[in-house]
Amino acid sequence: MTFALAFLALFIEALAGYSQKLVDRIGHPVTWIGALISRAEAVWNEASLSFPRRRLRGILALATVLLVTLSVVLFVDQGLDLLLPVLAALVVKAAFASTLLAGRSLDEHVSDVAEALEHRGLRGGRQAVSRIVGRDPEALDEAGVSRAAIESLAENFSDGVVAPLFWLVVGGLPGCAVYKAINTADSMIGHKSERYLAFGWAAARLDDLVNLPASRLAAIWIVAAARLMPGADWRAAALSTLNDAPRHRSPNAGWPEAAMAGALGLALAGPRSYGGKTIDDAWMGAGRREATYADINRALRLFRIAYVLQAATVGLLAAVTAFFFL
């Protein structure tokens, strides 16, 4: 049943996404989770405490956020099963789950960067890319803006699409929601700044753990998509993934980035600037560093093929499961 749930969620998210009117009126499930994390951080993260005590408080805060998220979603999940027929409950759950996937919004935001670079030049590209990456936009030239957009596309394909879908299949709607809470906590407090190094330690470590399977799976989808896309090199994508991904400072981000770099003949990642501080990361891929908006568009085509391949596979597994077990 979870394969059918995942397939429907992908279909709904790709077709409709989450309306901005709904965001303005009632917010978004991720913003609700984020508000809970912000409240816990404001109450428990005291700078005067020792490092071990702040880390312990961070563990307890994260556990509280996850417990509240799980309790609420379990209540909704079980309530739908009790109140609605099986198929109706499945569709409603899929609609809820679709809000935890980010494929459509990711496509739109990265497309905005390519369009801005093409029609409004470097200044427009910097403005557009600043909405999806944390690095210093003013330090980026056109190639840097293009690489940043492609890297964001690859990484967020993993943790914004593949990972929530993976945990939706594994744990149903509750599993997907708990994953999203972990990922949101990492994005909010899992930083290595003085404020969050201790308090956000648990969020960062747990996010690394739950993203391990999806990051490898995302690389596989990208390599498979490169096999189908004219002009992409699936062999280079596979070799880049195997050779370069383990050298990335993140245990997960390097896998989809290396696959994307190899497929498109680019070099991604490398040294980057965050808040005036340079991060000397390894290069993913052995291709060109001089990327352009045209490369962003090629990356988007590769992403869309990978998205469809994933959806088709999940749909096939849903059909097989229904045939043998229903």
pLDDT reported for residue 23: 73
pLDDT reported for residue 193: 82
Range of the structural domain that residue 181 is part of? 2-325
Distance, in Å, from the CA atom of 177 to the CA atom of 32, rounded to the nearest integer, reads 12
pLDDT reported for residue 326: 60
CA dist 22 to 17, 26, 28, 161, Å?
Answer: 11, 6, 8, 21
β-partners of residue 266 are 288
Mean pLDDT by 10 residues, the chain (326 residues): 91 84 82 94 91 95 97 96 94 95 94 95 92 83 94 96 97 97 95 89 96 97 98 97 94 96 95 72 93 97 97 94 74
Distance, in Å, from the CA atom of 262 to the CA atom of 208, rounded to the nearest integer, reads 23
β-partners of residue 272 are 279
For residue 189, how far is the Cα from the chain centroid?
Answer: 16
Contact status, residue 310 vs residue 221, Cβ threshold 8 Å: yes
Distance, in Å, from the CA atom of 273 to the CA atom of 271, rounded to the nearest integer, reads 7
Distance, in Å, from the CA atom of 124 to the CA atom of 128, rounded to the nearest integer, reads 6
Domain total of the chain: 1
Is the C-alpha dihedral spanning 131, 181, 271, 105 positive or negative? negative
pLDDT reported for residue 321: 86
The two tokens of residue 168 are 């939706």
As to burial, measured by CB atoms within 10 angstroms (0-12 exposed, 13-18 middle, 19+ buried), residue 130 is middle
3-state secondary structure of 46: coil
pLDDT reported for residue 276: 63
* pTM summary value: 0.94
pLDDT reported for residue 324: 75
Rounded to 5 degrees, φ, ψ at 99 are -70, -15
- First-to-last alpha carbon distance for the chain, in angstroms, is 9
